[in-house]
Amino acid sequence: MRTTVGIVGAGPAGLLLARLLHNAGIDSVVLESHDRAYVEQRQRAGILEQGTADVLRAAGAADRMDREGLRHDGIELRFSGRRHRVDFPALTGGRSVTVYAQTEVCKDLIALRLADGAPLLFEAEALAVEDADTDRPRVRFRHRGVEDVLECDYVVGCDGFWGIARRAVPAAAARVFERTYPFGWLGILADVPPSHDELVYARHDRGFALLSMRSPAVSRLYLQVPEGTEAQAWGDEEIWDELERRFATDDDWKLERGPITQKSVTPMRSWVHEPMRHGRLFLAGDAAHIVPPTGAKGLNLAVGDVVTFARALTHLRDTGSAALLDAYSETCLRRVWQAERFSYDMTTLLHPAPGATPFEDRLQLARLERIVSSRAAETDLAEAYTGFPFG
């Protein structure tokens, strides 16, 4: 099998890259180890930055997002029983975010790929990326029990942290930067309308809480829990009671309860692999970087990576210049590190650390007071939350 770009992984990064290349007239093959149902059901991110939504529209992949997605023009910060709304459009010149689950983005992109008749192989396990430092890299894979080889001009690894693409980068050629946090998020899906029309980020002495949503009828909520917590160790009523405590306000706001349909625990870590390119292998998304979910940056960073690659390859084809392709890692990492910085700031702002001293608690509250009392500080948060420029 032969193609111009071999894409390992059919998450939102790999699927969007395939769409961007198709629109540019560049052929590709997508290899995905799981079946279609798994890809369309795995719960991940749900917040699309302004730039991500715009890219999906430009790619012809936003019809359902524009019908069913929820535009949000702000978030609420909640601490010491007080509520403060951050107004995105007023602070950023009109930018907003869209609540639209990653599962739905994948469904839309898969449907477009299949309608185009372009190669998308489910249950195709990538085994190794070979000859990445030559002009003919290849991906060995197993498709429904039969081994095969995909010969490419370029390989893009969109196969996540546990994928095989990054293993083709020699250890001596790479640096890894990492921070692990001593807590995680207990997340639930509940069949109850959201108790607020925008996301609520609550800092409480008992721990952080987040009120989010997947639709007007389905709530997504999170609790800060100790590292290593098992989701099933928490009973349903215990979860609702704790959420109620952490979201408590001095006014008459009320948390609505409903049946919990899913529980999971997400570990919290920051991680970056440099460089994001080795020869003709390019890393994108979680294969190259991970952020804690506090800043809602993971999916959006992956979109930035594949937009950068697609632009660079199109530029090479149209002009003969490889300058943008050669700058891929540097270009992406500038945005990655800004997102890492923002996600770290949001995480340390809102999560009381185990064993934190009273001095550290007061500093957290002072940082929050600064944001709600300074337009400059509030604008910095709003600009970062709604998204850094692509490239």
pLDDT digits (tens, 9 = 90+) for 54-66: 999 999 999 999 9
Lowest average pLDDT, out of 51-60, 81-90, 211-220, 233-242, goes to: 211-220
Ordered by start, the domain boundaries in the chain are: 5-72+99-177+269-346, 181-267+351-386
pTM here is 0.94
Name the CATH superfamily, with its identifier, for domain 5-72+99-177+269-346: FAD/NAD(P)-binding domain (3.50.50.60)
Q: pLDDT-based confidence at 74, cuts 50/70/90?
A: very high
CA dist., res. 295 & res. 196, Å (int): 19
Per cent of the chain over pLDDT 90 is 96
Catalytic residue flag (residue 267): no
Question: Which letter, b or e, does each residue of 263-292 get, where b requires 16 or more Cβ atoms within 10 Å of its Cβ?
Answer: bebeebebbbbbbbbbbbbbbbbbbbbbbb
CATH number of the 181-267+351-386 domain:
3.30.9.10
Catalytic residue flag (residue 273): no
Q: Which of 297, 328, 351, 352 is catalytic?
A: 297
Cβ neighbours for 233, distance < 8 A, ≥ 6 positions apart = none
Other CB atoms closer than 10 Å to residue 10's CB: what's the count? Answer: 28
CB distance 224 to 111 below 8 Å: no
Q: How much is the pLDDT for 365?
A: 97
What is the per-residue pLDDT across 302-314, written as a single tens digit (0 to 9) for each? Answer: 999 999 999 999 9
| Mean pLDDT of the 243-257 span | 96
- Report residue 253 CA to chain centroid gap: 30
Q: How much is the pLDDT for 60?
A: 97
Q: How much is the pLDDT for 374?
A: 98
Q: Which of 181, 201, 222, 328 is catalytic?
A: 201
pLDDT surpasses 90 at 42: no
Q: How much is the pLDDT for 211?
A: 97
Other CB atoms closer than 10 Å to residue 156's CB: what's the count? Answer: 32
Q: pLDDT-based confidence at 391, cuts 50/70/90?
A: low
Q: Which of 12, 22, 72, 194 is catalytic?
A: 72
CB-neighbour burial class of residue 55 (10 A; exposed 0-12, middle 13-18, buried 19+): buried
Per cent of the chain over pLDDT 70 is 99
pLDDT surpasses 70 at 81: yes
Q: How much is the pLDDT for 44?
A: 72
What is the per-residue pLDDT across 329-373, written as a single tens digit (0 to 9) for each? Answer: 999 999 999 999 999 999 999 999 999 999 999 999 999 999 999
Q: Give me the residues paired with residue 138 across strands.
A: 130, 151
What is the per-residue pLDDT across 251-303, written as a single tens digit (0 to 9) for each? Answer: 999 999 999 999 999 999 999 999 999 999 999 999 999 999 998 999 999 99
Catalytic residue flag (residue 263): no
| Mean pLDDT of the 5-24 span | 97
Catalytic residue flag (residue 181): no
pLDDT surpasses 90 at 144: no
Q: Which of 100, 181, 328, 385 is catalytic?
A: 385
Catalytic residue flag (residue 351): no
Q: Which of 137, 293, 328, 351 is catalytic?
A: 293
Q: Would you state the structure tokens that stand for residue 86, as one six-digit string?
A: 């951050």
Q: Which residue has the tokens 């340390």?
A: 348
Q: pLDDT-based confidence at 41, cuts 50/70/90?
A: confident
